[in-house]
Structure formats: structure tokens, C-alpha cells
Amino acid sequence: MISLSKDICLKFKEARQAKGLNQSALAQQVGCKQSAISMFESGMVTKLSEETVRRIAEFLGVSLEEESKASSNAVSDIPFQVAVHGYCPNCECPSNIPYVVNGRLYYKADRKTASPAGGKRCTQCGEILETCCPSCGAPLNDGACCAACGNAYVTPVVPEGIDMETFARNRRIEIAQIRSF
């Protein structure tokens, strides 16, 4: 079954009027009833067979192909939405929990906090989220570093004038306070 929008049916009507034909004259030309043309022009396309519609289109010079292509494009233009829980690359964001391992500062990226429902931006600080490893493109894991390339997800800013362990501990307390509000 051919599917046509009301807009196209309207084009048929305009094309018919442009040719100076009334509905019965067109019906005679293409071999159908005037009432079928009338219904067709008002959007009830099921009243005519596909063959008749094509005959009318040809007779009036209305293109069906172009229109059906345009409508299928419109369908594929609808973005396919998947909830991706990205992580926030901002080391100062409360979604990233700092801790120290072997004298190095790491941030465990809490993706559920940064992106509870998926989306492009961090719900905590507004930063654009990363949805895969920025170094190698591997899928994210819940740790601080990429399992594929070993790079840290969040680049730490090492604090000056304060012991790293103390910094990480203080920051964790601060984050716990921010989050409990």
C-alpha cells in the first residue's frame, strides 16, 4: 500500500486545479470515480489503488518518488538515543573521588553521579562528559584508569604545599558534604 501524507494529497489537488481540471474530468482521464478523487485529495489515500495513484501522479506531473524519499529521510533523522553514563573529566568536580596509590593521585570517576540518566553534560559541574577512554577509545570501566591503555581517566592537578594524602582525604570529606546537601 502506498503511503502519502496530506501535504502530497494537497499537491495533487493543486496540480489538478493548475491544469484546469475538475475532479470528474480527472477521474475520467485516469479511470476511476470522481468520489475516489475527492477522498484522495482530502487525504484518504486508501480509496485508490497504488496503480491509480501512480497514474494520477504521472498525469498531473506530481512526483511520488521524491516525496516518499523525503519522508523516509525524516524518519532516519530521528536520533537513536541511548543512555550513556559518561564520566566527568574535570578533576575538581564532586563526581570524581580523589585517592592516593603509591604516591600518585588518582580520581575514581563516579559515572552514576556525573550522569545519572545519561546525557552530554555532567549534572554536578556542567562539564561535557567523556563516554569512552579519551586516550584510546576503549569502553569505560568503573575504576580510575582505562583497562586497555592504563591511562587515568581524570588528569589530576597535584596540590601544592599540602601532603597529597591529606589533600585527598580532605577533598573526600568535602565531597561527602557537597553530596549530602
Sites of contact with Zn ion (CB under 5 A): 88, 90, 93, 95, 122, 124-125, 127, 133, 135-136, 138, 146, 148-149
CA distance 134 to 155: 11
In 3D space, the residue among 138, 129, 119, 139 whose CA is nearest the CA of residue 95 turns out to be 129
Alpha helices (H) in 34-151, listed in sequence order: 34-41, 50-60, 64-76, 111-114
Which C-beta is closer to Zn ion: that of 25 or that of 101?
101
Q: In this complex, which beta carbon is closest to Zn ion, that of residue 70 or of residue 136?
A: 136
- Grid cell 516525496 is found at 67
Q: How is residue 108 written as a grid cell? A: 575514581
Least separation in angstroms between residue 40's CB and Zn ion is: 56
Looking at beta carbons only, is 23 or 95 nearer to Zn ion?
A: 95
> What letter represents residue 3's amino acid?
S
Q: Which CB, 9 or 154, lies closer to Zn ion?
A: 154
Q: Output the smallest distance, CB 94 to Zn ion, in A.
A: 7
Q: CB of 124: closest distance to Zn ion in angstroms?
A: 4
Contact 172, 108 (CB under 8 A): no
> Minimum Å distance from CB 135 to Zn ion?
4
